[in-house]
Amino acid sequence: MPGGYRERARRLTEPSEVTRFVTSQTGSETYISHMNTLGIDKAPSETRVVVAMSGGVDSSATAALLVGEGYDVVGVTLQLYDHGQAVAKPGSCCAGQDIHDARRVAAALRIPHYVLDYEDRFRTSVIDDFAESYLRGETPIPCVRCNETVKFGDLLRTARELGADALATGHYVRRRMGPNGAELLRAADESRDQSYFLFATTRRQLEFLRFPLGDLAKERVRELARRFHLSVAAKPDSQDICFVPEGDYAGVVEKLRPEARRPATSSISKA
């Protein structure tokens, strides 16, 4: 672990859940459960957390905060669509320059980092679904579909295979334990709230997920990134749909489904 990161985290962060000691009695036996800041009954150094690193400031700051708190952090970046097409596209994510940025941050934090090729899964579950939805006259939200299928489906399974105790992301939402288990709440900074995009997240997935930025404002996250000396501290946020160049939705649908341009044939017979 880089010298100074843990001390910076101690000075700069205000954890949403402080370390707790919970005591209970069963007959004459007393035991103490030591919960870490992620609500897991392990010391941070014994808690492996996979961080989904998109190459942006939010996921990078998430990784830095967890490293600073002493967790066993592993960074994972998903390559979701054609690398060559994305290199020159500003404001995208999960391809091209973003993968390079995630790798640089992981190297600076001295954590393992893996790039996983999920292009086929992303095309089938998200891009093809996007085109089919438009042809049905619907208005698809591919970011929701991506979270539902690729990130919180396939990636969550991969995190477990890596021996992780939790999967952390840079989303601006909060997770709390309720009477029936983990619950999803809006972010403290409602102007950055992303709970809408995670509405399809299941309770079982929430049990494994963590969102360290849920109590922080965006500017606070950028400040933390600057204090941690992350190269992406001033990087602009991703915009629009990552696989739609210049916001040309019709062009993407036409490319994926050329038959969509053909006018429908009329079945009305003449009198």
What gap in Å lies between CA 19 and CA 209, rounded to an integer? Answer: 18
Q: Could you identify the residue written with the tokens 């038959």?
A: 259
Beta bridge partners of 23: 32
Catalytic residue among 93, 94, 143, 146: 146
Q: How far is CA 230 from the centre of its chain?
A: 18
What gap in Å lies between CA 167 and CA 52, rounded to an integer? Answer: 7
Catalytic residue among 93, 94, 143, 242: 242
The question of whether 143 is a catalytic residue gets the answer no
Q: Closest by alpha carbon to 164, among 38, 78, 15, 6?
A: 38
Q: Which residues neighbour 3 within 8 Å (Cβ) at sequence distance 6 or greater? A: none
Q: Which residues of 197-219 are buried (b: 16+ CB within 10 A; e: fewer)?
A: bbeebeeebbebbbbbbbbbebe
Q: Closest by alpha carbon to 200, among 253, 126, 256?
A: 126
The question of whether 146 is a catalytic residue gets the answer yes
Active site residues: 146, 242
